[in-house]
Amino acid sequence: MGDCVFCKIADHTISGSVVYEDDQVMAFRDLNPCTPVHLLIIPKNHISGIQEISEADGALISKIILVAKQLAKEFSIDEGGYRIVVNSGPDAGQSVAHLHFHLLGGQRMGWPPI
């Protein structure tokens, strides 16, 4: 997608603070973190949001969750706990139309998160 900022980070057209990358998935630091650890985990291919996920994407979504688990351990938030958040659509706060998972941790969080 030509104007998608996350696609541009994924293809290295623009820089991001990348903490993980393989052939399908990338993770980088959020520019406006709301917790001490705030990473964004994205599929490198463009999927605009949850509504575009298909049955064929099942292995990719599973991989993203496993990457989140690995990063939680690497960033030492696995034992205290962490949150994985996916916003779907503008009313939910999705500001970039590229599927992304927020990995949040490093502090005690309340509920509900609103």
User: Which of the residues are catalytic?
Assistant: 100
The dihedral through the CA atoms of 38, 42, 47, 53 has a sign that is negative
Where are the strands (E) in the chain, listed by range?
18-21, 25-29, 37-43, 82-85, 101-105
DSSP-based three-state secondary structure for 25: strand
